C-alpha cells in the first residue's frame, strides 16, 4: 500500500514540475492521405469542417428536441450534433433520480391521470419562453399528446418542475407555443371527446364531442403554470392540430388548424370506411382564429362555464363576443406558422402541394367588414379563403411545417412525400431552392426559427424514418436529424445524426449564450420546489432519528464518504434517507443506491434528495455512491442492517481487519508532509499567475481550499491520537488526511493545467 502511495506521490510531483510531457505520438498524416484512406470526397471534408467542434470547444446553438414516446427531452449542440442531455419530463429516468427520489416523485404525481401513475409520455412540441418575441432561454414547455399534459422545465438546471393535466381534453397536439411575453402557453385538443369526463355514445359525436384550446397562464415569478388563472375555449369536434401565437400586428390572436372537419366517425369493424377515408374527403379543413386577449377578459369577467372545475368559454359566447372565426385551409393541414413580423400565417396541407400564406391584415379587414362566406354548423363565422390569402406557392408534395430564416421573407417548408426541404420567398411567392433529404421529413427547425428574430445559419430536418441510413440495429430504427447549412443561397446537407429515443416531433434551437445554467445549488436545496430543503443536513450534523417504527436518516455525501456509514434498523421499519451533497465543486455529483431496493438518488452539488423504503426483509444491504466521483469512489460505501423482529442485541466481539503500529503511523505522516510540499509548490505556481481572471480556475481553487481545510482538521485528529499513542486511530486518521491532500492536489493540478493551456501570465515572481 505504501509503495502505491509513493508512486502516486511521485507522479503528482513529476506532473507539477512539468517533468511528464504528452507522448509525441502525433503523426503528421496529410489531409489527402486521410481522405484516401477513408474514402472521403472534398465535399465530405468541407461538410466535416463545418460541423466539427474541436475538443474543448463548444457549440453555437443548443437544440431541445422532443423525445417522443420516451416522455423526455433531448438536448444537443449545433453544429456538432453532440447529445448533451436527456431531460426527464413525463417518465422516470434513473440517472437523474427522476421518479426515484421523493421530491421528483411528487412532480410525476402531478401528472397522474384518474389517480393512476402514467409511465410514459408522447412528447411533441417544446417551446422556449419568450420576452418581446425573442427566446429568453429561461423556461421550456413541452406537451404530451396521449395524456393531455403540459410540463415546465427550468433552464437554470434543466429539471422538470411542474406537470399540469388538462382538465377537459382526452388527447391533444397543438402545444406548447407561447405568447410573445410568455403570459400563456397554448394546448389544443386533437381527437374530439366529450369535455365532461363521461361516456357519450358516438352517435352523438356532432352534438356532444368537442375540441378545445387551453390557455395555460404562466406565472414567471413563481416559474409555474397557474391553473387557477388558466382557461379554455370550446371548439367544434374538428381534430385540432397545431397552433401558433400571433406577434407584432397579430399579437393577441392565436391560430389553430384542424383536420377531419368532416367530423367523420370510423368503424371499420362494422363495415364502415375507415377514419382515413372519411377524414380526408373535403378539399379544405378549418383554421381557427381566436382572440385570446378577448378570451382573457371574458375569463376575468366570469363569462365562462365550469367544466370539471375548469372555466371554459363556450362556442356560443365566443361567437357572440366576436373572438372566434374559421377560415378554410388546404386539406389535412399540419403546420400553422406565424411569420417573424407577425403579418402572415403559413399553412400547408399534407394532401395539397401548396403552401398558403394568409394575410393577417386581410383577415382582420374581413372580420371588420363582417364579410363572411357563411357559418359552420356551430354558428362560427367563416372567412373567405381567397380573400384571406396573400399568396400561395407550389412547394412540393405533402408540405408540412414552415420555419423562418434571418433573411427577410425567406422560409423553409418540410415536404413529407417528396422528402425535400423547399426554400421559398413568402413575400414574393416563389420557390428559391429545393434540397432532397434522406427520407420522410416531419418538422424542421431553423435557429430561433419561430421567434421574431430568427438566426439563420443552420436548419435541421427531423426525418421520421432512418431506413437504411445507419448501421442496422434491429427492426426498430432510430430517427434521423439531418443538419443543413442555410447560410448561402443553396442549402447544403452536412450531417446525419441518429436519435435513438422515441419519435422526436419538433425541436427548438437557441443561441447557446442565452442560456445561463447554474453549476451548483445553494446548499441543502430541494431542486423540485426551488426552496431550501426542510430536511437538509449540515456537515457534522448527520443523525439517525427514530419515532416508533419510522426511522429518518439525515445524511451527507462528500468525497469520498457517505455519512452515516452504518445504519441499523429493525424489520418493518419505514426508513427515510434525506441525503445532502455537501460539495460545492463543479460536477461533483454523488449517487446513492441501496441494494435490494429502488433507492437511487442523484445528488448534484448542494442538492438534498430523499428516498423512503420499508425494511421488510431482515438482512445486510450495502449502499454506495453510483457516480465515479474520485479515486476512492469505490470506497464511498456503507451498510444498511435490518435486524429480524425480536432480535436481541448482544455484544459481539470481532477483530479489526488490520492492526497498525507506530511504524505505520510514522510512514504515513512522512508521506503526508512530502505531499504537502508538492501541494505548496502547485499553490505557489497558481497564485503567481493571474488565475483570478479564469472563472473555472477560481472555482477549482475554492474547491481545493475546502479540501485543504478538511485535511487540516483530520491532521489534528491524527496527531492527537498519536500523542495518546493510539496508533490504530492515529494511522487511519493520517490516511484520511492524506486522502484530502490527494483530492486537493488533484484539483490544484487541474487548475495548473488549465492555466498553462489558456496562456495565464505570471503576475508575481
Ligand atoms: S408533429 S410531423 Cu408536430 Cu406532432 Cu408534425
Ligand atoms: Cu461519490 Cu462516487
Residue 174 Cβ inside 6 Å of ligand 1? The answer reads no
Task: List, as one string, the DSSP characters of 506-573.
Answer: -EEEEEGGG----SSPSSSEETTTTEE-TT---TT--EEEEETTEEEEEEEEETTEEESSEEEEETT-
Residue 105 Cβ inside 6 Å of ligand 1? The answer reads no
Sequence-distant (6+) residues with CB within 8 A of 47 are 485, 492, 493, 494, 495
Q: How confident is the model at residue 539 (pLDDT cuts 50, 70, 90)?
A: confident
The proportion of the chain whose per-residue pLDDT surpasses 90, expressed as a percent, equals 85
In this structure, the strands spanning 177-178 and 574-581 are unpaired
Can you state the angle between helices 695-723 and 727-757, rounded to 10 degrees? 160
Residue 603 Cβ inside 6 Å of ligand 2? The answer reads no
C-beta of residue 666 within 8 angstroms of C-beta of residue 734: no
For residues 326 and 375, give the distance between their C-alpha atoms in angstroms, rounded to a whole number: 9
Centre of ligand 1 to C-alpha 450, Å, is 15
> Closest ligand 2 atom to the C-alpha of 624?
2
Query: 487 or 352: which carries more pLDDT confidence?
Result: 487
Residue 170 Cβ inside 6 Å of ligand 2? The answer reads no
> Closest ligand 2 atom to the C-alpha of 590?
1
Q: How confident is the model at residue 5 (pLDDT cuts 50, 70, 90)?
A: low
Centre of ligand 2 to C-alpha 631, Å, is 9
pLDDT for the residue numbered 19: 44
pLDDT for the residue numbered 24: 47
Residue 199 has pLDDT above 50, yes or no: yes
List, for residues 126-171, the tens digit of each pLDDT value.
999 999 999 999 999 999 999 999 999 999 999 999 999 999 999 9
Centre of ligand 1 to C-alpha 301, Å, is 35
User: Burial of 42 by CB count in 10 Å (0-12 exposed, 13-18 middle, 19+ buried)?
Assistant: exposed
Which ligand is located closest to the Cα atom of residue 631?
2
Among candidate residues 263, 258, 254, 266, the one with its CA nearest the CA of residue 285: 258
Q: Dihedral (C-alpha) 268, 270, 273, 274: value to the nearest 10 degrees? A: -20
> Closest ligand 2 atom to the C-alpha of 588?
1
Residue 636 Cβ inside 6 Å of ligand 2? The answer reads yes
> Closest ligand 2 atom to the C-alpha of 560?
1
For residues 532 and 480, give the distance between their C-alpha atoms in angstroms, rounded to a whole number: 42
Sequence-distant (6+) residues with CB within 8 A of 664 are 727, 731
Centre of ligand 2 to C-alpha 603, Å, is 10
> Closest ligand 1 atom to the C-alpha of 335?
5
pLDDT for the residue numbered 22: 46
Q: What is residue 149's DSSP assignment? A: E
What are the C-alpha distances in Å from 506 to residues 66, 73, 176, 218, 654? 6, 10, 10, 21, 62
Residue 124 Cβ inside 6 Å of ligand 1? The answer reads yes
> Closest ligand 1 atom to the C-alpha of 414?
2
pTM, entire model: 0.91
Residue 536 Cβ inside 6 Å of ligand 1? The answer reads no
**65 pairs with which residues across the strands?**
74, 507
Centre of ligand 2 to C-alpha 634, Å, is 7
Which ligand is located closest to the Cα atom of residue 605?
2
Host H or E run for residue 49: helix 42-51
> Closest ligand 1 atom to the C-alpha of 442?
2
> Closest ligand 2 atom to the C-alpha of 626?
2
Of 443, 463, 480, which is best to mutate to test ligand 1, by the most ligand atoms within 8 angstroms of its C-beta?
Answer: 443
Centre of ligand 2 to C-alpha 387, Å, is 67
> Closest ligand 1 atom to the C-alpha of 124?
4
For residues 214 and 299, give the distance between their C-alpha atoms in angstroms, rounded to a whole number: 12
pLDDT for the residue numbered 699: 85
Among candidate residues 417, 403, 396, 392, the one with its CA nearest the CA of residue 284: 392
pLDDT for the residue numbered 17: 47
Q: How confident is the model at residue 654 (pLDDT cuts 50, 70, 90)?
A: confident
Which ligand is located closest to the Cα atom of residue 503?
1
Among candidate residues 100, 491, 177, 535, the one with its CA nearest the CA of residue 335: 177
In this structure, the strands spanning 507-511 and 61-66 are antiparallel
Residue 633 Cβ inside 6 Å of ligand 2? The answer reads yes
Q: What is the mean pLDDT of residues 651-664?
A: 88
In this structure, the strands spanning 561-563 and 550-558 are antiparallel
Q: What is the mean pLDDT of residues 676-695?
A: 92
For residues 422 and 432, give the distance between their C-alpha atoms in angstroms, rounded to a whole number: 8
Q: What is the mean pLDDT of residues 90-101?
A: 97
Centre of ligand 1 to C-alpha 124, Å, is 7
Residue 400 Cβ inside 6 Å of ligand 1? The answer reads yes
> Closest ligand 2 atom to the C-alpha of 633?
2
C-beta of residue 537 within 8 angstroms of C-beta of residue 554: yes
Angle at 698 between CA 696 and CA 699, to 5 degrees: 70
List, for residues 610-634, the tens digit of each pLDDT value.
999 999 999 999 999 999 998 889 9
Residue 505 Cβ inside 6 Å of ligand 1? The answer reads yes
C-beta of residue 516 within 8 angstroms of C-beta of residue 540: no
User: Burial of 471 by CB count in 10 Å (0-12 exposed, 13-18 middle, 19+ buried)?
Assistant: exposed
Q: What is residue 692's DSSP assignment? A: G
Centre of ligand 1 to C-alpha 198, Å, is 29
User: Burial of 302 by CB count in 10 Å (0-12 exposed, 13-18 middle, 19+ buried)?
Assistant: exposed
Centre of ligand 1 to C-alpha 267, Å, is 25
Q: How far is CA 534 from the centre of its chain?
A: 26
List, for residues 701-759, the tens digit of each pLDDT value.
988 888 899 999 999 999 999 999 999 999 999 999 998 998 899 889 989 999 999 98
For residues 517 and 527, give the distance between their C-alpha atoms in angstroms, rounded to a whole number: 13
Residue 20 has pLDDT above 50, yes or no: no
> Closest ligand 1 atom to the C-alpha of 464?
2
DSSP 3-state of 495: strand
Residue 426 Cβ inside 6 Å of ligand 1? The answer reads no
For residues 473 and 470, give the distance between their C-alpha atoms in angstroms, rounded to a whole number: 8
Q: What is the mean pLDDT of residues 336-348?
A: 96
Q: How confident is the model at residue 185 (pLDDT cuts 50, 70, 90)?
A: very high
Sequence-distant (6+) residues with CB within 8 A of 643 are 568, 569, 570, 571, 618, 649
> Closest ligand 1 atom to the C-alpha of 145?
4
Residue 625 Cβ inside 6 Å of ligand 2? The answer reads yes
Among candidate residues 116, 279, 307, 292, the one with its CA nearest the CA of residue 191: 279
pLDDT for the residue numbered 334: 87
Q: How confident is the model at residue 350 (pLDDT cuts 50, 70, 90)?
A: confident
For residues 470 and 479, give the distance between their C-alpha atoms in angstroms, rounded to a whole number: 10
Residue 107 has pLDDT above 90, yes or no: yes
In this structure, the strands spanning 566-570 and 637-643 are parallel
DSSP 3-state of 237: coil
List, for residues 475-534, the tens digit of each pLDDT value.
999 999 999 999 999 999 999 999 999 898 999 999 999 999 999 999 999 999 999 999
What are the C-alpha distances in Å from 405 to residues 76, 246, 449? 21, 18, 7
> Closest ligand 1 atom to the C-alpha of 443?
2
pLDDT for the residue numbered 494: 98
For residues 281 and 287, give the distance between their C-alpha atoms in angstroms, rounded to a whole number: 17
Residue 590 Cβ inside 6 Å of ligand 2? The answer reads yes
Which ligand is located closest to the Cα atom of residue 440?
1
Centre of ligand 2 to C-alpha 8, Å, is 20
Residue 173 Cβ inside 6 Å of ligand 1? The answer reads yes
225, three cell numbers: 403554470
Provide φ and ψ at 666, rounded to 5°. Answer: -60, -40
Centre of ligand 1 to C-alpha 65, Å, is 12
User: Burial of 634 by CB count in 10 Å (0-12 exposed, 13-18 middle, 19+ buried)?
Assistant: exposed
Of 413, 416, 506, which is best to mutate to test ligand 1, by the most ligand atoms within 8 angstroms of its C-beta?
Answer: 506
Residue 607 Cβ inside 6 Å of ligand 2? The answer reads no
**375 pairs with which residues across the strands?**
381
Among candidate residues 614, 522, 535, 523, the one with its CA nearest the CA of residue 571: 614
Among candidate residues 104, 75, 107, 173, the one with its CA nearest the CA of residue 508: 75
Residue 627 Cβ inside 6 Å of ligand 2? The answer reads yes
Residue 764 has pLDDT above 80, yes or no: no
Centre of ligand 2 to C-alpha 559, Å, is 7
- On average, the pLDDT of the chain sits at 93
For residues 741 and 744, give the distance between their C-alpha atoms in angstroms, rounded to a whole number: 5
pLDDT for the residue numbered 765: 59
Task: Give residue for cell 434521423.
Answer: 480
Amino acid at each position: 500500500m505504501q509503495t502505491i502511495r509513493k508512486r502516486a506521490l511521485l507522479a503528482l510531483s513529476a506532473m507539477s514540475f512539468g517533468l511528464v510531457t504528452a507522448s509525441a505520438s502525433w503523426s503528421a498524416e496529410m489531409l489527402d492521405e486521410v481522405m484516401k484512406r477513408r474514402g472521403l470526397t472534398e465535399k465530405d471534408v468541407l461538410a466535416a469542417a463545418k460541423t466539427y467542434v474541436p475538443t474543448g470547444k463548444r457549440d453555437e446553438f443548443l437544440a431541445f428536441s422532443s423525445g417522443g414516446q420516451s416522455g423526455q427531452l433531448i438536448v444537443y449542440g449545433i453544429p456538432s450534433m453532440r447529445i448533451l442531455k436527456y431531460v426527464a419530463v413525463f417518465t422516470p429516468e434513473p440517472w437523474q433520480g427522476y421518479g426515484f427520489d421523493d421530491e421528483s416523485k411528487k412532480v410525476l404525481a402531478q401528472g397522474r391521470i384518474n389517480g393512476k401513475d402514467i409511465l410514459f409520455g408522447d412528447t411533441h412540441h417544446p417551446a422556449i419562453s419568450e420576452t418581446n418575441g425573442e427566446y429568453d432561454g429561461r423556461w421550456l414547455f413541452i406537451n404530451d399528446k396521449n395524456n393531455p399534459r403540459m410540463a415546465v422545465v427550468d433552464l437554470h438546471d434543466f429539471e422538470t418542475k411542474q406537470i399540469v393535466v388538462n382538465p377537459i381534453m382526452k388527447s391533444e397536439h397543438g402545444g406548447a407555443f407561447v405568447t410573445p411575453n410568455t403570459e400563456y402557453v397554448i394546448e389544443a385538443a386533437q381527437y374530439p371527446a366529450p369535455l365532461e369526463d363521461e361516456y357519450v355514445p358516438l352517435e352523438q359525436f356532432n352534438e356532444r364531442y368537442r375540441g378545445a384550446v387551453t390557455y395555460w397562464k404562466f406565472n414567471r415569478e413563481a416559474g409555474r403554470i397557474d391553473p387557477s388563472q388558466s382557461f379554455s375555449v370550446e371548439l367544434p369536434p374538428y381534430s385540432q392540430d397545431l397552433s401558433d401565437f400571433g406577434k407584432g400586428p397579430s399579437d393577441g390572436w392565436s391560430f389553430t388548424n384542424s383536420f377531419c372537419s368532416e367530423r367523420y366517425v370510423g368503424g371499420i369493424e362494422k363495415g364502415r370506411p375507415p377514419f382515413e377515408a372519411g377524414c380526408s374527403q373535403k378539399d379544405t379543413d378549418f383554421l381557427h382564429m381566436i382572440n385570446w386577449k378577448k378570451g382573457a377578459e371574458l375569463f376575468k369577467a366570469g363569462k365562462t362555464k365550469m367544466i370539471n372545475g375548469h372555466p371554459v368559454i363556450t362556442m356560443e359566447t365566443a361567437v357572440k363576443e366576436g373572438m372566434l372565426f374559421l377560415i378554410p385551409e388546404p386539406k389535412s393541414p399540419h403546420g400553422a406558422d406565424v411569420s417573424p413580423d407577425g403579418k402572415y400565417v403559413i399553412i400547408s396541407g399534407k394532401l395539397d402541394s401548396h403552401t398558403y400564406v394568409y394575410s393577417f391584415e386581410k383577415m382582420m379587414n374581413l372580420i371588420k367588414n363582417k364579410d363572411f362566406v357563411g357559418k359552420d354548423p356551430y354558428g362560427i363565422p367563416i372567412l373567405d379563403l381567397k380573400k384571406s390569402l396573400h399568396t400561395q406557392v407550389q412547394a412540393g408534395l405533402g408540405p408540412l411545417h414552415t420555419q423562418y430564416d434571418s433573411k427577410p421573407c425567406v422560409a423553409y417548408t418540410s415536404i413529407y412525400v417528396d422528402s425535400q426541404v423547399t426554400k421559398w420567398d413568402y413575400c414574393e411567392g416563389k420557390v428559391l431552392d429545393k434540397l432532397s433529404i434522406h427520407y420522410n421529413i416531419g418538422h424542421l427547425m431553423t435557429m430561433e426559427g419561430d421567434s421574431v428574430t430568427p438566426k439563420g445559419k443552420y436548419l435541421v430536418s427531423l426525418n421520421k424514418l432512418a431506413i437504411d441510413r445507419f448501421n442496422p440495429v434491429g427492426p426498430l430504427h432510430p430517427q434521423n436529424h439531418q443538419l443543413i447549412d442555410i447560410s448561402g443561397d443553396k442549402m447544403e446537407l452536412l450531417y446525419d445524426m441518429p436519435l435513438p429515443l422515441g419519435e422526436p416531433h419538433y425541436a427548438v434551437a437557441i443561441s447557446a449564450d442565452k442560456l445561463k445554467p447554474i453549476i451548483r445549488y445553494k446548499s441543502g436545496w430541494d431542486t423540485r420546489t426551488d426552496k431550501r430543503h426542510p430536511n437538509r443536513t449540515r456537515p457534522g450534523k448527520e443523525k439517525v432519528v427514530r419515532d416508533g417504527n419510522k426511522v429518518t436518516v439525515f445524511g451527507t455525501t462528500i468525497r469520498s464518504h457517505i455519512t452515516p456509514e452504518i445504519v441499523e434498523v429493525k424489520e418493518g421499519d419505514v426508513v427515510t434517507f434525506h441525503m445532502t451533497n455537501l460539495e460545492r465543486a463543479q460536477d461533483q455529483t454523488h449517487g446513492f443506491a441501496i441494494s435490494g431496493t429502488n433507492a437511487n438518488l442523484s445528488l448534484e452539488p448542494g442538492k438534498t434528495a430523499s428516498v423512503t423504503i420499508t425494511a421488510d426483509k431482515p438482512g445486510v444491504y450495502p449502499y454506495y455512491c453510483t457516480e465515479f466521483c474520485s479515486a476512492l469512489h469505490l470506497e464511498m460505501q456503507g451498510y444498511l442492517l435490518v435486524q429480524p423482529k425480536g432480535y436481541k442485541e448482544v455484544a459481539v466481539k470481532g477483530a479489526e481487519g488490520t492492526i497498525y503500529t507506530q511504524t505505520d503511523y510514522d510512514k504515513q505522516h512522512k508521506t503526508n508532509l512530502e505531499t504537502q510540499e508538492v501541494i505548496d509548490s502547485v499553490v505557489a505556481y497558481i497564485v503567481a499567475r493571474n488565475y483570478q481572471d479564469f472563472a473555472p480556475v477560481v472555482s477549482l481553487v475554492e474547491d481545493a481550499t475546502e479540501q485543504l481545510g478538511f485535511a487540516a482538521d483530520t491532521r489534528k485528529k491524527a496527531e492527537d491520537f498519536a500523542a495518546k499513542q493510539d496508533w490504530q486511530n492515529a494511522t487511519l486518521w493520517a490516511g484520511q488526511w492524506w486522502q484530502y491532500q490527494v483530492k486537493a492536489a488533484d484539483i490544484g493540478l487541474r487548475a495548473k493545467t488549465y492555466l498553462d493551456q489558456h496562456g495565464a501570465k505570471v503576475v508575481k515572481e
